[in-house]
Structure 1
């Protein structure tokens, strides 16, 4: 199955609306230009929720086994964030989850608020819980990481993966001699680049040191790299995952008496 249609990070249709809801939710999402750098576009921002708030999480479908598996995945993040993940009855929520065969995706943090139609999902999780709970939980934790505002770890500004780009293109059914003037070929190549090669700007995201153990890291096959480098699928939150979320969603410092 094509990883680009199976796993992806949903992009809001309206970047301006995404910026406005992010800043209204958490003013700290505003990116401030660093002295000496060119002024950034107004739409550049992070997507973190306001610490201390309750996130209402609703299910649009799915049986009890699916819902329980999702709650188990989310519970791994809960101890490391100053947010209350509240699974609510009904279909209205800040995060709305749909079960659909073969697909994992999520909006990035506050971008979920741009999906104002309460009948539409802000996260889709596959039916793998029926076959491999361990695999499902890993992917669900990954998508919840996105829902909390975390980006893909292979795009960490500090990542230095020795990619064999032709091998990665070939693995995604893109011929090595693809015509970059062709819309379809260039679109596919851009998708691969955005998934693996186009690192995030360190001045526009919050990030911890590069962490190949992160739940937010895609698996990287040995044949996709030069030399002896690979990343297996991670099944648990890493210590850096936990520390990053604790930093992003801190609890108030205790008031001294």
Structure 2
């Protein structure tokens, strides 16, 4: 497990030139004693703007998707090398909304992770179960199958990824996995990574199901929760800063976790 917490914002399809600047200016102004790694995944049109706004800060730029193709006649697609040109450090792959609305398969997600890795970009591989799957007792098998596809395709460099557990039933619904529920799934994923690579401790496992100011501290205190993938709360500077400070406090309070 990573030595410092990683908190990544996912703006989803939100933002605007003026709104982005205001949000990031407020975050930079309230930065203070942040002692965790931070990334911001923004929509493609704002990569240039946000790259400039983040220059000179410790905040890493992230994208929300990447093509499975390196180049070619794929209108509307964006390649890993294009993202690299903008200094992108992280890229989400397999977010539940992409799996659901764009019918992305486990193979698609694995290939996207491969393209990101080939371009020196850290893929944040999202895994998670639906409410029906959880109620059927299938949570462990679902997340293991989703991660297994990525391990199979990228086994030689699997220690270079980040994993985000995002229970589909808790995304944008106001529902959140309890700390014990989150820890149980994270422990399953950690064991799977341990079996795949001796460098499994390099892989951060984030929780991504409606983490907010009210539950962040309890979730981040779990032994296998290495950070958070933050949706709605990342669009409010004060909320995002509070989560960053709670992550920093947890890292300082438990430096050996």
> Under a length normalisation based on structure 2, what TM-score does the superposition of the two structures give?
0.25
Higher relative contact order by CA 8 Å / sep ≥ 6: 1 or 2? 2
Larger Rg: 1
Q: Which has the higher strand share?
A: 2
Q: Which has the higher helix share?
A: 2
> Under a length normalisation based on structure 1, what TM-score does the superposition of the two structures give?
0.25
